[in-house]
Amino acid sequence: MMSRLTYLFICISIICFSQEKNDIKGIWLEEEGQSKIEIFSLETDEGTMFGGRIIWLEEPLTEEGERKLDKENPDPELKNKPILGLLIMKKLKYKKYGYWSGGSIYDARSGKTYSLEISMDEKDVLKLRGYFGISLIGRTTTWTRVK
């Protein structure tokens, strides 16, 4: 029979691991301060994955007063989707403490999709690295948690 102390340590370990994996969840302000992205988790057959959608835009309307659309999207059928609510981050997986990778991020400004890895060295700061092919050829941006 398992001792109460052993059981307690197992429970604490499970809770701590879950919190580390989910530390990425929340609302984040991207580096230029023009949008806020909500990062959420999804349970899939492959395990927990993380995604992100735009939930706030500093300027949600065009000069003509219409909603901004995903006009740079290479798929003609998606060019009329609003930017607000757009899913930009997909299939990100927790790999180890403070590190997620294996997903992709869509840049609505350019219409391009990049491979993505994220590191969190500080609790409220994400370093996102978008790249084509290998991580060395890419760009890093910083997002801060909205409190």
pLDDT value of residue 135: 80
DSSP category for residue 77: G
Residue 133 — very low, low, confident or very high, per pLDDT cuts 50/70/90? confident
Please list, in sequence order, all residues whose beta carbon lies within 8 angstroms of the beta carbon of residue 28, skipping any fewer than 6 positions away.
Answer: 36, 37, 38, 39, 52, 126, 143, 144, 145, 146
The better pLDDT of the pair 109, 147 is held by 109
Q: Which of 128, 103, 104 is nearest to 118 (CA)?
A: 128
Residue 19 — very low, low, confident or very high, per pLDDT cuts 50/70/90? low
Q: Which domains does the chain have, with CATH numbers?
A: 24-145 (2.40.128.520)
For 58-85, the pLDDT digits (tens) are 999 999 999 999 999 999 999 999 999 9
Residue 10 — very low, low, confident or very high, per pLDDT cuts 50/70/90? very low
Residue 55 — very low, low, confident or very high, per pLDDT cuts 50/70/90? very high
Residue 95 CA to its chain's centroid (Å): 14
pTM of the predicted model as reported, rounded to 2 decimal places: 0.85
